[in-house]
Amino acid sequence: MTLDTQFTDQKFKLVGSRPDRPDGVDKVTGRARYGADASAPGQLVGAILRSPHAHAKIKKIDTSKAEKLKGVKAVITSADLPDLTNGNRGNYDILENCMARGRALYDGHAVAAVAAIDAETARRALSLISVDYKVLPHVTDVDAAMRSNAPIVQPHVRTAGGEPSDKPTNIAQISTFGHGDVEAGFAKADKIVEKSYKTEQTHQGYIEPHACLATVGPDGQGELWVTTQGHYTFRNLCASLLGMDIAKLKVTSSEIGGGFGGKTHVWMEPLALALSRKANRPVKLVMSREDVFRASGPTSSTSMDIKIGCTNDGRITAATATLRYQDGAFPGIWGMLGAMTAFACYDLENVQSVGYDVLVNRPKVAAYRAPSAPMAAFGVESTIDLLAAELNMDAVEFRLLNAAKEGTKASYGPTYGPIGIGPTLEAVKNHPHMHAPLGKNQGRGMACGFWFNFGGQTCTDLNIGVDGTVNMTVGTVDVGGARASLSLIAAEELGIPYEHVKCNIGDTASLGHNDTTEGSRGTFSSGMATIFAARNAIEELKSRAAKTWDIDPEEVDWVDGEAVAKGVEHSNLGPLSLAQIAKASPNTGGPIAGHSETVADGAGVSFASHICDVEVDPETGSTRVVRYTVVQDAGKAIHPDYVEGQFQGGAAQGIGWALNEEYIYGEDGRLQNPGFLDYRIPVCSDLPFIDTEILEIPNPNHPYGIRGVGETSIVPPLAAIANAVSNAAGVRMDHIPMSPPRIRKAIKAEAAMHQEVSAG
């Protein structure tokens, strides 16, 4: 298998080193300003009233008492947000999710909002708003929502990709992927394993709640300071929902305190703008942690059936998956993404995956790091382990035998270029972790994962100062070290020291459109745009040098940060450094800058394989992760510290998801655990060190070989841990999270079955 590309074995001077991040001092001194850290003169405090019901008709909202309260400057309901969406259903859904329009669709759905002189007054105003609800039947479980007698969440919805029908349904979309003939494939199989799985809903759990500061004047101009992964997308959406001109709304992304996909969507920002417009004062709106859980961004809960068949010598002949993902109260693409990713690690002749997007009375599902892939991987990788056990074959060998490679037609359509699944599996096979002894009640598991990665629209500016230092402005946000990586790239390309580059995140008024920082695109796409912008600046630097020397620009080369005149006839001309050219720039044609506006195509797919050891207490069912190893292909690790950080962070989130985190809804459809006490994410004492191994199989579509690295690390953990727990507890776990009660129940049920068998 050849994995070499034209970018293999590139020699770098700076890329791959580990300098201090440029925003480090700001962030360790408390100076960095996040969403809730800004204020404006005359600012008001916003607050939102939310539905206590999972599903209700809103008969009447009386805001008169709240409006009369001293210190209240604006009260809004959906009546203040006229529908300007012009038949764009997607935008209408966003508008309706920001504030209920006649129906509350989930516990926590916003119904009214106020702006007042202080938080206390705002809270009192909320308590003075009276809402007359007619409670309707609700459904929160994905399987229940698919039954024909289920309460209907969105009466207008008909199944996209399904049989044409007039009947309202909660199945918003059916998406089918695959190729070959699965019936024929199963007929050829010697062994078939078929199993159903469930996963519960989890939240991204960023530590910084959603927060913004909105200012809109009667002149139709506005500013929004907000914690977001995509300030351009927020600008475009907010402007269109509120009927503002895009150019007149300036959105600045604050430092972002974690997003993981949850800050790619607007939740309450249009409300802050609407309040500000009504009050003609700046409005600061910050979600409480409870609001974050009840009304923003969770991922889907799922229910899945997986079937895989293989020959006795371990070759998979057919595989199918039926994946039911809930989208919350608004149609999404989550089941579709699950169906696309489910079998992406394998080279399969006959494969079919069907994804259902299902509506329930829960908050609108948002992207969560490699959205939808972890659950499908849990089902598929658990089944792969079961099949390997049936064959009596080593689980890594079985995967290697069936792994996708360059030229494999992926189950979701395209044909792969050079990819890393095989190499990550080889690395796992040879890793000392795989061969370390296990203690009592311990078990080991491993699993693979895939994510697409994304490129998208990108715009970058690079300005060279007269002292030869470089100011760079990018439009993707820095979610965890991007400034450092992009500065390394600019310095590498220009041939100057890392410390001579300053990377800024531009606001929407100072740079062209950039797509949202999602799909692991930050370093990939802004890295690409940075390279192009630097090369663009180098052209200008060369032409200035040519001018100085009075020779043709064609006769100038750029070598290690200096312009050099080519050819023996110019051997009398000494090189001109970037700093020298910059210093002379006022007299050679003015400021020197480089730009890049591009659609960063060719994001490289990424694969990871994880190994996990757990110890399960058979008495209590409690599980500890005792050792964890991440192996992932990064394409090229620009700043390895932050690549490792992404690997470790994704693994930790996966560990929380696998063992503990879950949304718990009561019979009444209300969320029972909207806080970090009862929705418990892993803490420091829960985890071991997380070992990492970075593989670098260059992406042929990126000048430095970069692939995205942010998301794939959350894909294998659910499955790797489930395989480990199943091995430790001696019983197959098919329901995530594997909380102590679930594990205990499974162990007991298994014991009872054995007793019955031996008694019978």
Partner 1 sequence: MAGVHVSTTVNGDDVEFVCPGSESLLDVLRNRLGLTGAKEGCGTGDCGACSVTVDGQLVCACLMLGAEVEGRQVQTVEGMAQGDQLHPLQRQFIENAALQCGICTPGFLMAAKALLDRNPDPTETEIRYALAGNLCRCTGYDKIVRAVSATAKELSQEATTKGSKKR
Of residues 625, 624, 618, 658, the one with CA closest to residue 747? 618
Which two three-digit tokens encode residue 197? 């799985």
Residue whose entry in the numeric block shows the structure tokens 């003075």: 128
- Based on its alpha-carbon atoms, the radius of gyration of the chain, rounded to whole angstroms, reads 28
- Rounded to 5 degrees, what are φ and ψ at 216? -130, 135
- DSSP letters for 481-517: SHHHHHHHHHHHHHT--GGGEEEEE--TTTS-----S
Burial grade of 117 (CB within 10 A; 0-12, 13-18, 19 or more): middle
Under 8 Å between Cβ of 47 and 119: yes
Per-residue mark of binding to ligand FES, 228-267 (x: CB under 6 A): ------------------------------x---------
Identify which of residues 209 and 635 has a Cβ nearer to partner 1 in the complex. Answer: 209
263-322 binders of partner 1 (CB under 8 A): 286, 288-289
Q: What is the Cα–Cα distance from 666 to 674, expressed in whole angstroms?
A: 12
Nearest to 684 by CA among 656, 663, 709: 656
* Under rule CB under 8 A, residue 693 binds partner 1: no
Q: Name the minimum Å distance from CB 106 to ligand FES.
A: 25
Quick one: which segment of 19-27, 265-273, 420-428, 738-746 binds partner 1 (CB under 8 A)? 19-27
168 binds partner 1 (CB under 8 A): no
| CB closer to ligand FES, 32 vs 136 | 32
* Site for partner 1 contains 371 (CB under 8 A): no
Instruction: Choose among partner 1, ligand FES, none what residue 269 binds, the Cβ cut-off being 5 to 8 Å by kind.
Output: none
- Does 466 help bind ligand FES (rule: CB under 6 A)? no
Indicate whether 690 belongs to the interface with partner 1 (CB under 8 A). yes
Residue 6 touching partner 1 (CB under 8 A): no
3, 14, 23, 308: which one binds partner 1 (CB under 8 A)? 23
Asked if 79 touches ligand FES (CB under 6 A), the answer is: no
184 counts as binding ligand FES under rule CB under 6 A: no
Q: How far apart are CA 342 and CA 186, in angstroms?
A: 18
349 binds, among partner 1, ligand FES, none (CB under 5 to 8 A by kind): none
Neighbours of 539 (CB within 10 A): 13
- Cβ of residue 209: shortest distance to ligand FES, in angstroms? 10
Nearer to ligand FES, 151 or 258 (CB): 258
When CB distances are held under 5 to 8 angstroms depending on the partner's kind, the choice from ligand FES, partner 1, none that residue 30 binds is partner 1
CB of 25 to partner 1, least distance (A): 7
3-state secondary structure of 441: coil
Interatomic CA distance for residues 320 and 216, integer angstroms: 52
Residue 98 near partner 1 by CB under 8 A: no
**Smallest distance, partner 1 to C-beta of residue 37, A:** 4
Q: Is 24 in the site for ligand FES (CB under 6 A)?
A: no
Q: Which run of H or of E encompasses 748?
A: helix 740-759
Residue linked to tokens 């494939």:
185
Among 207, 436, 509, 599, the residue binding ligand FES under the rule CB under 6 A is 207
Residue in the block written with tokens 């008909």: 158
Binding-site member from 31, 57, 68, 754 for partner 1 (CB under 8 A):
31
Closer residue to partner 1, CB minimum distance, 21 or 744: 21
User: 152: which DSSP letter?
Assistant: P
Cα(426)–Cα(631) distance, rounded to whole angstroms?
Answer: 10
Q: Coil, helix or strand for 279?
A: helix
d(CA 288, CA 296): 11
Q: Residue 480 or residue 604: which is nearer to ligand FES going by CB?
A: 480
Among 32, 136, 192, 393, binds partner 1 (CB under 8 A): 32
Q: Which of residues 174-233 bind partner 1 (CB under 8 A)?
A: 204-209
Residue 661 C-beta: closest distance to partner 1, Å: 11
Q: How many residues bind ligand FES (CB under 6 A)?
A: 2
Which of 359, 651 has the CB closer to ligand FES? 651
Residue in the block written with tokens 């409006």: 67
- Residue 648 near which of ligand FES, partner 1, none (CB within 5-8 Å, type-dependent): partner 1
C-alpha distances in Å from residue 581, one per residue of 465, 502, 533, 586, 587: 10, 19, 17, 10, 10
64: number of Cβ within 10 Å: 10
Reported as half-sphere exposure (CB side, CA atoms, 13 A), residue 176 has a value of: 8
How many chain residues are in contact with partner 1, going by CB under 8 A?
58
Which regions of 8-117 does DSSP assign to beta strands (E)? 44-50, 56-62, 72-76, 103-104, 110-116
Residue 119 binds ligand FES, judged by CB under 6 A: no
Task: Tell the smallest beta-carbon distance from residue 47 to ligand FES (Å).
Answer: 18
Site string for partner 1, 503-522 (x = CB under 8 A): --------------------
Q: Distance between CA atoms of 497 and 13, rounded to whole angstroms? A: 10
Q: What is the dihedral of CA 401, 407, 408, 413, to 10 degrees?
A: 170
Alpha-carbon distance of 289 to 675, in angstroms, equals: 6
CB 481 to ligand FES: min, Å: 10
Q: Which residues bind ligand FES (CB under 6 A)?
A: 207, 258
Q: Which residues bind partner 1 (CB under 8 A)?
A: 18, 20-21, 23-25, 27-34, 36-37, 39, 119-120, 204-209, 255-258, 260, 286, 288-289, 479-481, 641-642, 644-646, 648-649, 651-653, 675-677, 681-687, 689-690
